[in-house]
Amino acid sequence: MKLWIKILIAMVLGVITGVLMTAGGYDTAIFKPIGDLFLRLINMIIVLLVLSSMTIGITSIHDPQKLGRVGLKTLFIFLCTTALAIVIGISVATIFRIGNGMGLKSTTEVILRETPAMGEIILQIIPYNPIASLAEGNVLQIIVFALFLGISINFAGARGKPLLEFLESLADVMYRMTSIIMEFSPIGVFAIMTWVTGTYGLETLYELGYFLGVFYFACIIHLIIGVCGILYFLAKLNPLPFFRGMGDAIMLAFSTSSSSATLPVSMHCVQENLGVSKNITRFILPLGSTVNMNGAALFQGMAVIFIANAYGIDLGWQQILTIVITATLSAIGAAGIPGSGFIMLSVVFRSVGLPIEGLAILAGIDRIREMVSTILNVLGDAVCAVYVAKQEGELNEQQYYHEDLVEMENPEPEL
């Protein structure tokens, strides 16, 4: 049985157990330590996972010459679409007031990080001492250090290869450790949902369904503004052939929830169906599957507002800005595998001091959410490839409009 099915079953069983124990007069708090143990395991892997995966994500641009016009243009589009996804997620979540009225209470004191002036925010993301940042778990400073470390490794060439190999090994180990910890997630989710349902009632289940519906709506908005907007207004292309050409990749992304697993099919669709040159395709799509996670970013923005509302926490504009920055950068470190967006969400929570136990509440719907998120991830990479190819004169527009050309070349005979 797949892990996401186990988690979904655990969530349902947890809800049922919580209702039955409450009806029988039993205290569901006895399950809370089990859920806390699972959350501690997640906390345990965050620092090294962020450092290694972020650095490897940056070093995937291993040809320094490609950091020129095409590379910078690609990274700019990636950052813009990711930030747009976060802003859409936060805006939609705020408008629909998701999580309001749940009245959850954290078992630990919630202390939001101070909201300094803009200049101080910028200064505080640069670490004085990266070792101290690692020890303190200051994730934003770790992300910034990883960005500089990855770029420096690339420019160091052969001398930086031993460090790159070490970090690749560390990243692989941390991914494996993540997989091991996630195997315990059904137990942790069952315990948390039993405690939450017994403490707060079935309102939690309703709010999760509402969250999921609003999330899908936000995804549609991002497709219209982010994907169709780039194609129509910037690339001057009709968006419909784009979605037809990406059909196979969309279906595989939906079924696997993995940007990495979808990569070969995405490359075929972009190159053969949309007419993007091999050079652009082979550079942008592998890079995008590592550093461009629009769907995960949108989820992170919505999840932060959901949990803040659920626990009755008011976020200031500085904290919202910190969330946007952290979520944008953490999307670079999210591996293109199922569950990565959920793990990286803990990084965003910690950046502003939100209660991390909120993760377990969202765990039950994470796989259902991720099926659509992965589609956004894949389409975000593809639209960037099409746009850059158009700008560089490496897009075959006849191939892009392939189906329309077939009809034009084979008109119906006149009677």
Q: How far is CA 96 from CA 7, 244, 345, 365, in A?
A: 27, 32, 21, 19
What's residue 163's pLDDT?
A: 95
What's residue 366's pLDDT?
A: 79
Contact predicate 317/106, CB 8 Å: no
Length of the chain: 415
Helices (H), 96-229: 118-124, 130-136, 139-156, 161-183, 185-200, 203-222, 229
Q: Look up tokens 């629909």; give the residue.
A: 96
Q: Both tokens of residue 260?
A: 């990495």
Does residue 109 lie within any of the structural domains?
Answer: no
**Closest by CA position to 347, among listed 364, 327, 366:** 327
Q: 395 has which bridge partners?
A: 276
Instruction: Give the count of domains, the chain.
Output: 1
Does residue 244 lie within any of the structural domains?
Answer: yes
What's residue 385's pLDDT?
A: 94
Which residue segment(s) compose the domain that 145 sits in? 3-104+125-406
Does residue 334 lie within any of the structural domains?
Answer: yes
Q: How far apart are CA 395 and CA 393, in angstroms?
A: 6
Four-residue CA torsion sign, 192, 193, 198, 199: positive
Q: Both tokens of residue 271?
A: 């190159």
What's residue 415's pLDDT?
A: 42
Does residue 7 lie within any of the structural domains?
Answer: yes
- For residue 47, the domain's CATH number is 1.10.3860.10
Does residue 29 lie within any of the structural domains?
Answer: yes
Q: 276 has which bridge partners?
A: 395
Report the Cα 115 to chain-centroid distance in Å.
Answer: 25
Does residue 414 lie within any of the structural domains?
Answer: no
What's residue 331's pLDDT?
A: 66
What's residue 405's pLDDT?
A: 44
Q: How far apart are CA 216 and CA 284, in angstroms?
A: 26
What's residue 390's pLDDT?
A: 94
What's residue 180's pLDDT?
A: 87
What's residue 118's pLDDT?
A: 56
What's residue 369's pLDDT?
A: 87
Q: How far apart are CA 276 and CA 161, in angstroms?
A: 32
What's residue 414's pLDDT?
A: 45
- Global pTM? 0.75
Q: How far apart are CA 401 and CA 319, in angstroms?
A: 45
**Mean pLDDT for each consecutive 10-residue tract of the chain (415 residues)?**
79 90 89 85 81 76 63 86 92 93 66 57 80 83 85 89 93 84 86 82 82 96 96 95 93 79 87 90 79 86 91 84 79 55 76 79 80 92 95 92 53 46
Q: How far apart are CA 401 and CA 35, in angstroms?
A: 52
Contact predicate 174/52, CB 8 Å: yes
Q: Both tokens of residue 89?
A: 């997620």
